[in-house]
Amino acid sequence: MSTETAKKEIDHEDFDPKGTLALILLYFVILAILWIFMYFIEFLGNDLTVIG
């Protein structure tokens, strides 16, 4: 098995800042949704059920 050379090298300056920002924002949106579920289920006791 021979080693293959890279067809295109990605330079340090070739990253996608919009894609990176989108991933960071998606991460915080997921955290916010999980926090909302935790708040309603654990602390308010308003009978919001996720399972069952």
Residue 37 counted as domain residue: yes
pTM: 0.51
Residue 5 counted as domain residue: no
Tens digit of pLDDT for each residue in 1-52?
556 676 777 666 667 778 888 999 999 999 999 888 887 777 666 565 666 5
Residue 12 counted as domain residue: no
Residue 27 counted as domain residue: yes
The contacts of residue 49 (CB under 8 Å, 6+ apart) are 41
Could you give the number of structural domains in the chain?
A: 1
